[in-house]
Amino acid sequence: MLYRNLGKPLFFKLDPEKAHHLVVDGLHTAAKVPGIVPIMRGLYGVQETPELASDLFGIHFPSPVGLAAGLDKNGRSVAGFSAIGFGFMEVGTVTPKGQPGNEQPRLFRLPQDEALINRMGFNNFGAEAMAEELAKLKTRSIPVAVNIGKNKATPNEDAHRDYEHCISALYPYADFFVVNISSPNTPDLRNLQHGSELALLLQAVTEQMALEGKRYGSNKAVLVKIAPDVSDAELEYMVDTIQKSGVSGLIATNTTISRDGLKHPDAKETGGLSGKPLTQRSTDIISHVYRQTEGGLPIIGSGGIFTAEDAYNKIRAGASLVEIYTALIYEGPEINRKLHRGLRELLRRDGFSHISEAIGADHR
């Protein structure tokens, strides 16, 4: 109620990007103040429960609900976000060199559609700057994934070098990695999802991960984030290539360029659409991937999760974990407790004692 009655009206009067920075920078600053993190945890934290905690990729996840990439682009606010009920979080997308991203305005709220459009363009301070931020964290209460991409100026034929650079610079600080080849806001990036380019890129990524694993004496997972704007044939080829590459799993899905059914006048803005309009499409893709791989490739479901039912539908479709982003903007930090409580109720309703029993249940 605090966010709905006080925070949201204030934030929604501000320019969306200014509000974004206010939240992220505010969490960064607040976490440095003695006693603030425990207070935040008391207000918004989620108690770990046996039926929702799980282990995947050799990592313990206290809750299946994580924060998607895009909010904490530079890894500056991990302590703050960790205190408001997430079971894991992504930082980034980070690129080797810092870059300003696209011209402003580049972030738009669509309240009537409970959606956002962004064309940020991987604005970030660069891989080395993120490494410095993450190195400051002495302890972590949740796993942190680093979402990596290529610089705008890097041609696709050299893209693998950007991903290799990010892995090398950030390997000691990431619990796992996410390869972003599906943002619609970097020119030609999505072309890396198709044809031989995908296989070559993932070969370079997995080889770099193996190299760093030997260097540091610990192997870490790497996932691929895919787009929702693909045909069934393209999706099947993409998933087949991803599965053969030896990566650990995938995230379905990134934002969409579709504008079907939108009401808000800003729907005409270019960029990636997130929020409720993406709910069913991302769930359908999760279901397709799970069927194609026969449950053999772990999936993190992302896209349009606002309620426990939304999250549960993705889990039943085949997701082992889920992520939110837009719902946090619209519903505030209270949403994590609502999702956690609702998921427990849905598991009990269906006679499941643990979330693992619900994964892919729609296919059985």
What's the CA gap between 187 and 189, in Å, rounded?
6
Q: Tell me if residue 183 is catalytic.
A: yes
What's the CA gap between 89 and 86, in Å, rounded?
7
**Beta pairing class for 299-302 and 321-324:** parallel
Give Cα separations from 228 to 104, 121, 152, 185, 285 (angstroms). 25, 18, 22, 14, 7
Spot the catalytic one: 54, 82, 183, 287. Answer: 183
What's the CA gap between 117 and 110, in Å, rounded?
8
Report residue 59: phi and psi, to 5°. -125, 140
**Beta pairing class for 272-275 and 299-302:** unpaired
Reading the block at residue 271, the tokens are 């960029």
Closest by Cα among 116, 111, 113, 118 to 260: 113
Closest by Cα among 214, 236, 218 to 173: 218
Provide the annotated active-site residues.
Answer: 183
